[in-house]
Amino acid sequence: MQLLKPRSFRFSWVDTFLWAIRIGALVFIVVGVLGTVSKAVDGEGLTAQAWRELVVTGLAQGSMYGLIALGYSMVYGVLGFINFAHGEVFMSGAVTGFFAANALADAGVWDSQPIVGLGVTILVSMATSMLVAVLIERLAYRPLRGAPRLIPLITSIGMSFFVQYTFRGLFGESFKSYPVLPTVMQGRISLLGIEILKTQLVVIIVAAVAMAGLYTYVTRTRMGRAMRAIAEDREIAALMGVNVDRVIALTFAVGGAMAGVAGVLWALLFRQVYFLTGFLPGIKAFTAAVLGGIGNMAGAYVGGLALGLFESLGPLLVLDGWDIPSVSQLKDVVAFSALVLILIFRPTGLLGERLAVEERG
């Protein structure tokens, strides 16, 4: 952990600058919020219902980010590098899920048995994402064990483009629209006095279930224990009889499966997928992982939810208070600024980083 603390107590101008950023950011946010509040008092802003909807939208998107972030976090835990290609793992699930959903819709299952239809789609998507993740690990990362740490990172950037354009080559570059949702899942439902979209509810529930399943798996099973052991110390784990290569492959598989679930959830929220779908959610999910504390599984989920909320509320709550026009364009700016600010304010993330071996550099 040493690297994350200031190494000396000299108060250089860099610290001054960073403090200036911290204070400036706080002032910016507070003034923005006050501006929005004063607007609301004047009766100009959004209605209470609209705010509630924004919160739910944020939670739904956030749970999706959280699921993808798990993959980043787990891989970072065992291998200590950012698997940049994880966004593509997510995309591969989303795109193949489309073909499954289409076939199911043609067969009528999608409408008559929505739960079965959704379940099968998710399974197909999970399987593809798992396969892609494991293949990536086998082909590109395994030969690089022990290489200087920027090398796997650059490899993963290459892998990301390779997978993207392979999918473009395979399935074309058009947008693929998932079939229209069964009527049961359309419209809104009233929950605790809040009207929310049913799809968003489904997304939140499915993500929470997947997360709970994963958590149980990692904390309760032998393989889960092996995974944690490797994250703790790879060499010692190997000495204790853990098959390191297999467990690492398994980590990729599990992370991939979660990304596959997220792929279908993305389709529920946005309907359309194509070969570049993975890029932005991938980076956002990485942001979420850092936000929650990378290497920390619960942190990934919490970070995802937090990022989703920042993204949906941030523009309207903070930027609107400054009278910036068309704030929704700046959604991604809010997300990335959140990343920069979190790393300045609290580099170990919300729940703290859990990395056993701190590597150099």
Partner 1 sequence: MAVSEAPPVDRRKVLRAGLLGGLGFVFVSTIGMVETFSTKNVIDPILSLGYTVLMSIAVWTGYRGAKAAAVDREARAAERILSGAAAGLVGGLVGAIYVVWINTFVVREVLSNISPRLIELLNFGGGMGSGITLAIVGGLVGGAVGALLSLASPLMRRALIGAFLWVLIVGFLEVVISQILRELHLGFIVGLAIPSVAALVLGRFLQRGPALVFGLLAAVALGIYSAINLESVGLSMTFLIDFLYESRVGGRALTTPAAAVIFVLAFVLVVVTERPRKRARARIAAMDPEERQRWLFGGVAVFLGLGIFLPMLLGSVVNELLATTGIFLLMGLGLNIVIGYAGLLDLGYVAFFAVGAYTTAILTSPLSKVSFDWGFIATPLNFWEAMPFVIVAAAIAGIIVGTPVIRMRGDYLAIVTLGFGEIARILFLSDWLSGTTGGAQGISRIPSIPLGFTEIKGTDQQMIFYAVFFFVLIAAYISWRLQDSRIGRSWMAMREDEQVAETMGVNIVRAKLQAFVIGAIIASFSGAVFAVKFGTIFPASFSLIVSITVLVVIIVGGMGNIPGVAVGALVMIGVLGGRNSPGLLREFEGFKLLIYGALLILMMLKRPEGLLPSRRRARELHQDEALQDVWLRAAAAGEHDEDGS
Binding footprint of partner 1 on the chain (CB under 8 A): 3, 6-7, 12, 14, 17-18, 21, 81-82, 99, 139-140, 143-144, 146-155, 157-166, 168-172, 233, 235-236, 283, 286-287, 290, 324-326, 329-330, 332-333, 336-337, 339-340, 343-344, 347, 356-361
Q: How far apart are CA 55 and CA 175, in angstroms?
A: 28
Pick between residue 257 and residue 288 the one whose CB is nearest to partner 1: 288
Closest distance to partner 1 from the beta carbon of 7 (Å): 7
Closest distance to partner 1 from the beta carbon of 92 (Å): 14
Tell me how crowded residue 338 is: count the other CB atoms within 10 A of its CB.
Answer: 21
Q: Interior CA angle at 342 toward 146 and 291, to 5°?
A: 60
Closest distance to partner 1 from the beta carbon of 332 (Å): 6
Pick between residue 79 and residue 210 the one whose CB is nearest to partner 1: 79
The answer to whether residues 129 and 263 touch, using CB atoms and an 8 Å cutoff, is: yes
Q: How far apart are CA 79 and CA 231, in angstroms?
A: 8
Closest distance to partner 1 from the beta carbon of 166 (Å): 6
Pick between residue 129 and residue 160 the one whose CB is nearest to partner 1: 160
The answer to whether residues 300 and 289 touch, using CB atoms and an 8 Å cutoff, is: yes
Closest distance to partner 1 from the beta carbon of 197 (Å): 27
Pick between residue 79 and residue 262 the one whose CB is nearest to partner 1: 79
DSSP 8-state symbol, 7: S
DSSP letters for 278-316: THHHHHHHHHHHHHH-TT-HHHHHHHHHHHHHHHHHHII
Q: Smallest Cα–Cα separation from 126: which of 3, 11, 209, 210?
A: 210
Pick between residue 79 and residue 211 the one whose CB is nearest to partner 1: 79
Pick between residue 180 and residue 333 the one whose CB is nearest to partner 1: 333
Q: Which residue in the block uniquely carries the two structure tokens 């504390």?
A: 293
